[in-house]
Amino acid sequence: EWSSQPEVTAAHPPKNAAGDGDRRPISTVLIIIAMQTEALPLVNKFHLSEDIDGSLFPKGVPWVRYHGIYKELHINLVWTGKDSILGVDSIGTISASLVSYASIQALKPDLIINAGTAGGFKAKGACVADVYLVSNVAFHDRRIPIHVGKLSTGDSLDMSPQDEVLILANDAVVKDMEGAAVAYVADLLSVPAIFIKAVTNTVDGQKSIAEEFLQNLIAVCTTLAQTVSQVVDFISGKCLSEL
């Protein structure tokens, strides 16, 4: 009765007009992040400054750009910001898609890094504070019911039994709330993308997902920042074809 969405591939070579985009050093990197707690350790590590000009994005959106130069790379970190009414981080696929689209248009990055926290499957070997360099990205909650009815949209931290079946059918080791959305837009606009996900909680154990997530969030975000920094060090001075 349900059909799941086809897989979104993690990275594609850029299809630019000259066709030589992957033979010059990577110059502009766009890091897309959903939570302030995930963003701040990286803002500090790369000594980024907040863009106070505000002309990059449309008026009224909460998206925040931090930027700076690190090891000759133009680093742009875009955080989706706080919802102006609810005051909470703009988590999930809607904001991730919009911010990816607007940031790619405005900044023309050579490479995107989507960094964040994720839930892990301990049955697949994921443990809290492990950081995954993602090999494949897919959506798991785009079920299309055959019968007409009310629409319910899921961008969830928890996992229903039905989600679990679909997530495991995607052969996932980790689950998040933005990656496949960023992959979709990066693919639309032919920008290669890397996904780095640090596990704050397991999703297939006995513990409360939300409790474990909140317990580990700050420490795991420090680990995430260290790994993202190692990836950026590796990227520095290289061409896309060398990654």
- Minimal CA–CA distance to 211: which of 220, 219, 201, 196? 201
Closest to ligand ADE by CB, 4 vs 236, is: 4
The residue to which tokens 């706080």 are assigned: 82
CB of 167 to ligand ADE, least distance (A): 10
Closest to ligand ADE by CB, 4 vs 215, is: 215
**Token duo for residue 66:** 């931090």
Backbone angles phi, psi at 64, to 5 degrees: -125, 130
CB of 27 to ligand ADE, least distance (A): 31
> Which stretch of DSSP H or E encloses residue 119?
strand 111-120
CB of 33 to ligand ADE, least distance (A): 12
**Calpha distance 216→212 (Å, rounded):** 6
Between helix 209-235 and helix 36-45 the angle, nearest 10°, is 30
Instruction: List interacting residues with ligand ADE (CB under 6 A).
Output: 117-119, 157, 175-177, 200-201, 203, 209, 213
Which residue in the shown chain puts its C-beta closest to ligand ADE?
A: 119
CB of 53 to ligand ADE, least distance (A): 31
Closest to ligand ADE by CB, 65 vs 197, is: 197
Non-local CB neighbours of 35 within 8 Å, separated by 6+ positions: 79, 89, 91, 116, 117, 217, 221
- Minimal CA–CA distance to 96: which of 7, 177, 5, 6? 177
Closest to ligand ADE by CB, 89 vs 110, is: 89
Handedness of CA 123, 114, 236, 227 (dihedral sign): negative
Closest to ligand ADE by CB, 20 vs 158, is: 158
Non-local CB neighbours of 224 within 8 Å, separated by 6+ positions: 38, 41, 115, 116, 117, 131, 196, 198
Closest to ligand ADE by CB, 191 vs 209, is: 209
